[in-house]
Structure 1
Amino acid sequence: MSEEIENIQFELTDDLISQVELLIEASDDKALQKLLKDFHYADIAEILDELNLEEAVYIIKLLDSETTADILMELDEDNREKVLRNLSSKEIADEIGELDTDDAADIISELPESRKREVISHIEDEEHKAEIEELLAYDEDTAGGLMAKELVKVYETWTVAGCLRRIRGQAKEVTRVHSIYVVDKKDKLVGRLSLKDLIVAKSDQKIAELSNSSVDYVNVHDDAEDVAKIMQKYDLEAIPVVDDNHILLGRITIDDIVDVMKEEAEKDYQLAAGITADVEADDSIWELTKARLPWLLIGMVGGIGAASIIESFTGYMGDFIILLSFVPLIQATAGNVGVQSSAIVVQGLANDSIDGNVLKRLFKEFLLGLVNGLAIALIAIVITHFLFKTPYNVSLTIGLALIAVIIMAALIGTFVPIFLDKRGIDPAVATGPFITTSNDVFGILMYFLIAKLILGF
């Protein structure tokens, strides 16, 4: 009977943190190393995020560079920045020497310019240094800024036997072999090779006979978001990167793309919530204020506009002053419908699932708004007339206004993100305060115009 391997899920507890802190305080390095020995580097990073800076640096300097290099990549970005400030340039260089080129470049890019040069000068492996400097030259939001130089590359003129010998040497530098890329004598990408085909092939066969010329790739200058879409669409674990001459430069792996998608989702979420910059909860009050205030001012202007519209109609209402009681209903409905419509469109644009012409999509939203409007209006008429005892003509006014406002909000929420996207502006800025504020203003205006038309004040 075979033994079952117990899968113990890591759990960060107050007792564990206290135990680590006590061992650091007692300078019991052996016990601390023994405690952390069997933890995954991501788990150790989670522990370090809970310690103070001095304690975190103590552990980083205690453990071997092979482990701490991976820990640094998993640390919260703000905590990593603080830890790096407390390490010497030589110590950072030692850590970087254990990382793949893309991760090493990411860490160096976070350092001040003068510190970057110092750290690079302490990297002993000249080839590793040159590759890191190459990656630092690319914009971080491009394929070049994402790629790693480590890959398995073979020439189409090699035989299977010669290929296997050389692959063994290359694979030592690659954490995980996703694909074998085939190049010509000028290092131009010409295909890919599967391990299965390589293993079963005859030793004297040429690689050109085995390689598959159908290979997805991206240009080194392609936008990171476009790379993410390609890898997501074709379910790729890795994709090669080439330059304008089709020369193979590196590869991008799925873990880097997950980070891109996460960062983009966070950015879009903040834009949708009316935050204009990439900020976190721990940032300074000044940074948070700069990120939030612009949209709050837009909301204030919208509110003043809505108040002006209400004030301009108030003097003519006479016996229909009760209409003011239902202003929140009109505003809330318009805002909610607009955000719903824009959220669907923004999601579709992000996933490249929006197709067809704009007019067709607007017509669909018109029909959807009409159906929803009729349902909401019917309920509102019944509730306002029988529960609030409003006159029938006032209830009818509210109902018709709701239909018009819902249709209007659905059209605005659909059109604005598509319009912005076609102008090269992130459509996520259309959601949240922008859509809500615009629909509030137009919704109130439409509400009182319909009321004036029906009630005749």
Structure 2
Amino acid sequence: MQFQISTELIEKIQFLIEERNDEELLLHLEEVHHADIAEIITELSLDDATYLVRLLDSGKTSEAIMELEEGVRERILETLSAKEIADELVEMDTDDAADIMNELSPELQKQVISEIKDEQHAEDIVELLRYPEDSAGGLMAKELVKVNENWSVTGCMTEMRAQAENVTRVHSIYVVDDKNRLKGRLSLKDLLTAASNENIRDVYIPNVDYVTVHTEGEEVARIMQKYDLEAIPVIDEMRRLVGRITIDDIVDFIKEEAERDYQMAAGISEGVEADDNIFKQTRARLPWLLIGMFGGLGAAGIISGFQGSMAVFPKLLLFVPLIQATAGNVGVQSSAIVVQGLANGSLKGNIIAKRLFKEISLALVNGISIAIIVFIISSVWFETSYTESLSVGVALISVILLAAMIGTVIPIILDKNNIDPAVATGPFITTSNDVFGILTYFLIAKAILGF
């Protein structure tokens, strides 16, 4: 039966904490999974959550801490001493420990590192901190199983047992030479069926996919997805094996990137959480709102320039919201497809030209379809004249074509200039299409109606 977090359970834990009944509290949570511990911690007050983290064994709380939302985790870490944080890091894989360290101030990082008794673990964490968080070096863990090509099968088995004690999951066995340079990988089946006096060089598989410490996270994700890998080795500039990235690490990275791109597309310029303070949320949202404001003022300025003509053809104003909404929607749709294609690597070379042609073709079909419907409705329902309805229909087709081109081209241009194309979606595309859409609408109306 799946464990369920209930109000009664939280109240029970709160009561036990208040009574300082540690024995019953430990008994109550003994068999609870670390992910459920994290959910319980989230439901508690900061004082109660900190008490629980200090009470439980670091082997369980270290994993629970990694499951917490970043904002909750940061608040709990602020209440712990450098030694208490170090105790948690010792129980974590090096990649998780480095992630925690990145959330601490430089001064606290030094204090925590000095409290870690395992010097090798501390050195590995410090090494990972040198790399950008979104690079292979920043994503990798130092824990892995590797064997030397010159070892015998018997000696290899002994060494693997010793190394596996520090590795949570053994996804792959890597083969290196005497200088720790990656040579290939070792199949467990081949190892078990090989003669005990054979050398590893006679049974290992030389073909192995790998990335370098400087490979971007998006590229790592693409390679692992393309070749269906559960783990991938990471090498340095001298081809020395320095770590590995596992599927759970890359899934977390993809999730964070998706959340960031989603916020960017919605007009939020930096990563924020729902419980962040008002100042941080305002700083993240206000820039895009200001862009939208200036876009709206630009559209208002265009309309004011045709104010005299509106007195003669007042019904044209009825369709301004339609023009703006349609332009914005088409632009966002086109840019979303292009951004997705750029992210997963499916848009390359001549495919970009094909994508633009396809978007224009789609825009033309959609524009004609919408224009016919609007032409009929405007004539019957709004009782507009033939020429006015024609102006709206032709403008819709033109605006949809323009919006599709903007939505397709802008993300590609940004990507070519090493700017995240996600910034092109949402308010940016919507605002630009609003302005150009209104201008196109009135210019076409002027040409057809002759005002």
Measured against the shorter chain, the TM-score band is over 0.9
Q: Aligned equivalents of 2:66 and 2:294: distance in 1?
A: 43
2:211 maps to a residue whose letter is V
Q: Aligned equivalents of 1:297 and 1:76: distance in 2?
A: 30
For residue 103 of structure 1, the aligned residue among 93, 96, 110 is 96
SS at match of 1:118: helix
Q: Does 1:284 align with 2:284?
A: no
Q: Is the 8 A contact 1:90 1:119 kept in 2?
A: yes
Kindly provide the CA deviation profile for residues 93-139 of structure 1, in whole angstroms up to 9, marking residues without a partner as x: 12211111111222222212121111111111122122122112222
User: What residue is the counterpart of 1:196 in the other structure?
Assistant: 189
For residue 410 of structure 1, the aligned residue among 386, 404, 420 is 404
Q: Aligned equivalents of 1:49 and 1:397: distance in 2?
A: 58
Q: Does 1:174 align with 2:163?
A: no
Q: Does 1:34 align with 2:27?
A: yes
For residue 423 of structure 1, the aligned residue among 390, 405, 417 is 417
Kindly provide the CA deviation profile for residues 275-319 of structure 1, in whole angstroms up to 9, marking residues without a partner as x: 111112211211111111111111111111111111111213443
2:33 maps to a residue whose letter is H
5 Å-filtered alignment, 1:150-299, equals 150-299=143-292
Change (3 A) 1:358 1:236: closer
For residue 335 of structure 2, the aligned residue among 332, 335, 342 is 342
For residue 47 of structure 1, the aligned residue among 25, 33, 40 is 40
SS at match of 2:147: strand
Q: How far apart are residue 359 of structure 1 and its match?
A: 3.5
User: What residue is the counterpart of 1:395 in the other structure?
Assistant: 389
SS at match of 2:185: strand
User: What residue is the counterpart of 1:89 in the other structure?
Assistant: 82
Q: Is the 8 A contact 2:310 2:317 kept in 1?
A: no
TM-score (norm 1): 0.96
Q: How far apart are residue 16 of structure 1 and its match?
A: 1.1
Q: Does 1:307 align with 2:292?
A: no
User: What residue is the counterpart of 1:454 in the other structure?
Assistant: 448
Q: Aligned equivalents of 1:70 and 1:134: distance in 2?
A: 22
Moved more, 437-446 or 224-233: 224-233
Q: How far apart are residue 260 of structure 1 and its match?
A: 0.8
Q: How far apart are residue 361 of structure 1 and its match?
A: 2.5
SS at match of 1:186: coil
Q: Aligned equivalents of 1:281 and 1:108: distance in 2?
A: 23
User: What residue is the counterpart of 1:75 in the other structure?
Assistant: 68
Q: Aligned equivalents of 1:175 and 1:362: distance in 2?
A: 47
Q: Aligned equivalents of 2:311 and 2:47: distance in 1?
A: 71
Kindly provide the CA deviation profile for residues 326-349 of structure 1, in whole angstroms up to 9, marking residues without a partner as x: 100111111111111111111111
Question: For this pair of structures, how many residues does the alignment match?
Answer: 450
Q: How far apart are residue 274 of structure 1 and its match?
A: 0.9
Q: Aligned equivalents of 1:365 and 1:101: distance in 2?
A: 46
Q: Aligned equivalents of 1:443 and 1:401: distance in 2?
A: 8
Q: Aligned equivalents of 2:107 and 2:436: distance in 1?
A: 53
Structure 1: gaps (5+ residues): 1-7
Structure 2: gaps (5+ residues): none
Q: Aligned equivalents of 1:369 and 1:219: distance in 2?
A: 42
Moved more, 296-305 or 100-109: 100-109
Q: Aligned equivalents of 1:16 and 1:429: distance in 2?
A: 43
Q: How far apart are residue 73 of structure 1 and its match?
A: 1.3
Q: How far apart are residue 63 of structure 1 and its match?
A: 1.1
SS at match of 1:154: strand
Kindly provide the CA deviation profile for residues 397-439 of structure 1, in whole angstroms up to 9, marking residues without a partner as x: 1111111111111111111111111111100111111111111
Two-structure CA RMSD over aligned residues (Å): 1.2
Q: Aligned equivalents of 2:63 and 2:354: distance in 1?
A: 51
Q: Is the 8 A contact 1:314 1:321 kept in 2?
A: no
2:165 maps to a residue whose letter is K
Q: Aligned equivalents of 1:107 and 1:365: distance in 2?
A: 44
SS at match of 1:249: strand
SS at match of 1:367: helix
Q: Aligned equivalents of 1:447 and 1:205: distance in 2?
A: 78
User: What residue is the counterpart of 1:17 in the other structure?
Assistant: 10
User: What residue is the counterpart of 1:114 in the other structure?
Assistant: 107
For residue 360 of structure 1, the aligned residue among 354, 361, 365 is 354
Q: Is the 8 A contact 2:71 2:276 kept in 1?
A: no
User: What residue is the counterpart of 1:4 in the other structure?
Assistant: none
For residue 430 of structure 2, the aligned residue among 428, 436, 457 is 436
Q: Is the 8 A contact 2:185 2:204 kept in 1?
A: yes
Q: Does 1:369 align with 2:352?
A: no
Moved more, 445-454 or 226-235: 226-235
Q: How far apart are residue 357 of structure 1 and its match?
A: 4.8
Moved more, 234-243 or 361-370: 361-370
2:368 maps to a residue whose letter is L
Q: How far apart are residue 258 of structure 1 and its match?
A: 1.0
Q: Aligned equivalents of 1:189 and 1:358: distance in 2?
A: 37
Q: How far apart are residue 57 of structure 1 and its match?
A: 1.1
SS at match of 2:257: helix
Moved more, 435-444 or 315-324: 315-324
1:109 maps to a residue whose letter is N
Q: Aligned equivalents of 1:421 and 1:109: distance in 2?
A: 28
5 Å-filtered alignment, 1:132-151, equals 132-151=125-144
Q: How far apart are residue 183 of structure 1 and its match?
A: 0.4
SS at match of 1:202: coil
Q: Is the 8 A contact 2:218 2:343 kept in 1?
A: no
Q: Is the 8 A contact 2:71 2:275 kept in 1?
A: no
